[in-house]
Amino acid sequence: MKSFQQQAEDLLKKVEELKLGRRKVLILCGTPLCGKTLLAREACKQANGTYTDVSLDLLPKITSPVLGAYGPDDFFKWIRDKARSSELLCVDEIEPLLSTFGEEGVRRFFRMLGSIEPKKPAVVITRLTQLVESSGFPDDRIFRVGGRHGQE
């Protein structure tokens, strides 16, 4: 079992590796209550990054978050633009917005994230592990958190 601190260190190492490559998006995924948000907040704290909660920071600004009104392309652009202004961007609580995209829209969103080349790293946090894995997102850029409260 890895401790929370060990997982935080592993995540920060992975973020440092991303800085060296062209594609700088990492998916942080795991079951509910496994510690994803705590890890993301800790990574932002240590890397002087920005943590954002989509359900608080983006959804209230979308006038009609229904199927088709705000799509995968829009969300992708929002993440790309926010990643420009931070040393590390962590995007959490994405599921309420993804639920308006439909299954193929979600897969498309993750495929787009797999190809983005922002100047700074971004971590997108989700519990939709199976959808991430079936989307074709590169496995080496998926950081899996296991067990309850970050314990494997």
Give the mean model confidence (pLDDT) for residues 118-133. Answer: 86
pLDDT at 70: 83
The closest alpha carbon to 82, from 49, 36, 125, belongs to 49
Give pLDDT, residue 65: 53
Q: pLDDT tens across 75-93, in order?
A: 998 998 888 888 899 999 9
Are the CB atoms for 37 and 76 separated by under 8 Å?
no
**Class of the 4-150 domain?**
alpha beta
Share of the chain above pLDDT 90, in %: 34
What are phi and psi for residue 94, nearest 5 degrees? -90, -15
pLDDT of residue 53 exceeding 80, the answer is yes
pTM, two decimal places: 0.86
Which of the residue ranges 2-11, 62-71, 121-130 would you say has the lowest mean pLDDT?
A: 62-71
Question: What is the residue extent of each domain of the chain?
Answer: 4-150
Distance CA 74, CA 4 (A): 34
Burial class (CB in 10 A: 0-12, 13-18, 19+), 144: middle
| pLDDT higher than threshold 50 for residue 148 | no
